[in-house]
Structure 1
Amino acid sequence: MQTEAISGFTPYQRFIIAILGLLQFTIVLDFMIISPLGDILMKSLDINTAQFGLIVSAYAFSAAISGIMAAGFADRFDRKKLLLFFYTGFLLGTVSCGMADSFTQLLAARIVTGLFGGVIGAVSLAIVADLFRPDQRGRVMSVIQMGFAGSQVLGIPLGLFLANRWTWHATFLMIAAFGLLIGLAVLLNMQPVTAHLDNRTDKNPLLHLWHTLLNKRYQTGFLATTFLPVGGFMLMPFGSAFIINNLLLTQEDLPLIFMLSGISSIIIMPMIGRLSDRVDRFKLFAAGSVLSMIMVLIYTHLPPVPLWLLIMVNMIMFMGIMSRIIPAVALNTSIPEMHDRGAYMSISASLQQMAGGVAAMAAGLIVFQPHPHSPIEHYPRLGWVVTTVVLVCIWLVYRVSLIVKQPATK
């Protein structure tokens, strides 16, 4: 399916898709692995749900700050150089996570990782928008987003194996080692991405940032992308603790759960990517949102269930999530003009991270765990909050779809 999804592209375009997908794999894995390691971290570092929510949100808040700071400069440099700069900092932050041995040290390391990692996604999206036509971007995003599924199929099970075999530190060191190889591939094989430099309008980076923020067409996109990740940030941090302490499964069950959920995403994403280039993207997003809401409510209200039933619920839920992300991201890349893409994507990413950080902190305050081995309380409340946010997001993405269909006005 993946081969079919990238048919019709040049060999170099296929390399770009592959390398951006691998970059996405490491970025997503670094962030996603926190959730399955959550139960281990809370017990080994002796921290509560609010502190763990702070660890998750620290990455998001620092990523948001760096994205805003980088937005004014994002369209003034070769995108390859920007990508290498921020990816190097991300890898150094990940190594710091692997060397942390206390709550304070891990919190500081997550802040450093977020400062650099939060900009990489925006730069990658700008590269996609520069190098691929609008009618190709759905397929491109479906393959790049396989980094999300790949982190579940390969990365999370391997990371949990390393954590169970040695310690959770080994998981972050593994991510950094693999990321070093990807960084070298970018350095040696990616060509400069500089077409946007011929279309710059503002000489002053701060003025460019200000003009991008004031663009009425862009503001609707900013609002929609702000709400898009909130549900995931609320559910994800305490997923492993919920599975172990509420559903009464074991730490050894987690790799299989995440792996099979990732496989379902790998199956569905190329299909969604092709559909996203052929049918109305908003309708596809709305259908995925409805499925997500249903499955989120089922998941958050589960009693102790057999492993196979939890896996089925997880697989269907992730199918719904992927059916939202791909068309929404494809729509979002069609909003900005070329000379604004870097700034627009950086601002969008920052707003997403900021919203995600607030959501993770809020989730840490909503749920409560009296003892590290006791059930997570109030988890069903998260399901209702997430459902409400998804409803709001449907309306906002509908407005984005109307803007994309209208020509930009000067």
Structure 2
Amino acid sequence: MDFRVYILALAAFVVGTVELIIGGILDQIASDLHISVSAAGQLITIFSIAFAVSAPILMNATARFERKKLYLVFLFVFLISNLIVAFSSNYVTLLAARALSASSGSLLIVLSITIASKLVQPEYKGRAIGVIYMGISGSLVLGVPIGMVLGNAFGWRAPFLFVALLTVMAMGGIYVFLSNVPPSAVTSLRKQLSSLKNAKLVSGHLISYLMLTGHLTLYAYFTPYLQTTFQLSPGATSLVYFLFGLAAVSGGGLGGLFADKWGTSRSMLLIVSCFAVAMFILPLAAQVSFYVFMAAVMLWSALSWALSPAQQSYLMQTAPETSDIQLSLNTSVLHLGIASGSIVGGIVIEQSSVAHNAWVGCIFVLLALGSTVYSLTRPALVKSAAPAAHSAMTK
């Protein structure tokens, strides 16, 4: 594996930390800004919506720019946005800064995926994408727990200062190790959207949306769920997030390996099916004991990040001539799912109890399984031309 893929994964780690860290410090933000927990949860929603909308637009608008320089510029924007979050004093400013952070982060993630997939030989694409998602899920191992520790010790603003420091380090790594990357061909937004006229592709993207909606219905409010169910201390909650992250990283890596070894179709069916089972048994396991619950959480966590490598490889195989477009659109779809899950989870909390979030999330995961079966059984697209050869970067 080209070592530069791991440099890109480190940058993805930083972006992933910013997006999900809010879930670990919702109660602190709500208390400081005098808002409800569900309102604080919408800081995840605004990030995800901005991320989803920005990704295809920015990829199109910046297509003519050399990729390394573009990466560094948007890392700088990402740095500034998180400093604004750290020093914001009201909810509206915080929302705006989160949107700016998401917009810059969206381009960084898509660039990481597209560049990484071109740095390796075709047979290693699944694993390269898996490494990038290991970077994102790795933010759960170190970013979120450390963020919670910093938040508990120094206040909720401290984690964002920590992210700013990580961003500076990522800028240094990209500047030193990543060589110049030629710009991609310009693809209009109309062409990007026109690629979704095919039912196989639409249902393929829908898998991500529904699965992430189900996942975030619980995960966006996992801290209040743990406190309500088990009355955990902040330190114990941080430990749960740490274990969750360990499983997430292993899941992202194994997902890429499964995609390369077993094929995308078989991997997708297995992962989505097992994820539905894991989410269903979570609330049941919580009634048995905390340790049984944690075993279910580890399985749930690993499977939550295992799908992306196989599913994104599937999209590239289904539409090789528009593979970059599909990766960009799927990144948007993923974050729309995160936004939807945050909204649905907030509604469940407001209308009933956080204890019901897992059950509601499971419904969306079952719909994701149905979408998987539907997409895999649709006829393959007609390929008019072979995919372009690898760029000189693989040499």
For the superposition of Structure 1 and Structure 2, which TM-score range results when normalised by the shorter chain? 0.7 to 0.9
User: Match for 1:282 among 265, 273, 278?
Assistant: 265
TM-score, normalised with respect to structure 1:
0.84
1:254-275 alpha-carbon deviations (Å, 9 max, x no partner): 1211112222334444443323
In the alignment, the residues of structure 2 paired with residue 79 and residue 333 of structure 1 have an alpha-carbon distance, to the nearest angstrom, of 21
Aligned residue in 2 for 1:408: 383
The alpha carbon displacement at 1:230 in A equals 2.1
Aligned residue in 2 for 1:121: 109
Letter in 2 for 1:212: Q
Contact 1:75–1:342 (CA under 8 A) maintained in structure 2: no
1:151-175 alpha-carbon deviations (Å, 9 max, x no partner): 2222222111111111111011101
User: Match for 1:362 among 334, 344, 369?
Assistant: 344
The alpha carbon displacement at 1:59 in A equals 0.6
In the alignment, the residues of structure 2 paired with residue 387 and residue 227 of structure 1 have an alpha-carbon distance, to the nearest angstrom, of 6
Please state if 1:320 is matched with 2:308. Answer: no
Aligned-pair identity in percent equals: 20
Letter in 1 for 2:384: T
In the alignment, the residues of structure 2 paired with residue 51 and residue 308 of structure 1 have an alpha-carbon distance, to the nearest angstrom, of 31
In the alignment, the residues of structure 1 paired with residue 298 and residue 317 of structure 2 have an alpha-carbon distance, to the nearest angstrom, of 30
Contact 2:51–2:332 (CA under 8 A) maintained in structure 1: yes
- Hey, which of these two has a bigger chunk of helix by percent? 2
Considering only aligned residues, what root-mean-square deviation do their CA atoms show, in Å? 2.7
Which secondary structure does the structure 2 equivalent of 1:291 belong to? helix
User: Match for 2:68 among 66, 70, 80?
Assistant: 80
Aligned residue in 1 for 2:54: 66
TM-score, normalised with respect to structure 2:
0.87
In the alignment, the residues of structure 2 paired with residue 267 and residue 44 of structure 1 have an alpha-carbon distance, to the nearest angstrom, of 35
Letter in 2 for 1:265: A
Aligned residue in 1 for 2:129: 141
In the alignment, the residues of structure 2 paired with residue 341 and residue 380 of structure 1 have an alpha-carbon distance, to the nearest angstrom, of 34
Residues 35/227 of structure 1: CA separation in 2 closer, same or farther (3 Å cut) = same
In the alignment, the residues of structure 1 paired with residue 31 and residue 237 of structure 2 have an alpha-carbon distance, to the nearest angstrom, of 16
Residues 213/149 of structure 1: CA separation in 2 closer, same or farther (3 Å cut) = closer
Aligned residue in 2 for 1:35: 23
Aligned residue in 1 for 2:372: 394
Structure 2: runs of 5 or more not aligned? 386-395
Give runs of aligned pairs for residues 3-402 of structure 1, distance below 5 A: 9=1, 13-14=2-3, 16-194=4-182, 197=184, 200=185, 208-215=188-195, 216=197, 219=202, 221-301=204-284, 303=286, 306-337=289-320, 340-368=322-350, 376=354, 378-395=356-373, 398=376
Structure 1: runs of 5 or more not aligned? 1-8
In the alignment, the residues of structure 2 paired with residue 221 and residue 48 of structure 1 have an alpha-carbon distance, to the nearest angstrom, of 36
Which has the higher mean CA deviation after the structures are superposed, 123-132 or 348-357?
A: 348-357
1:274-331 alpha-carbon deviations (Å, 9 max, x no partner): 2321212221121111111111122245556654333212111112223322211222
Letter in 2 for 1:175: V
Contact 1:58–1:110 (CA under 8 A) maintained in structure 2: yes
The alpha carbon displacement at 1:58 in A equals 0.6
Which has the higher mean CA deviation after the structures are superposed, 263-272 or 353-362?
A: 263-272
1:204-242 alpha-carbon deviations (Å, 9 max, x no partner): x6xx22123213466555444444532233222111111
Q: How many aligned positions are there?
A: 382
Residues 137/57 of structure 1: CA separation in 2 closer, same or farther (3 Å cut) = same
In the alignment, the residues of structure 2 paired with residue 313 and residue 29 of structure 1 have an alpha-carbon distance, to the nearest angstrom, of 23
Letter in 1 for 2:349: V
Contact 1:134–1:334 (CA under 8 A) maintained in structure 2: no
Letter in 2 for 1:391: L
Which has the higher mean CA deviation after the structures are superposed, 107-116 or 94-103?
A: 94-103
Which has the higher mean CA deviation after the structures are superposed, 55-64 or 132-141?
A: 132-141
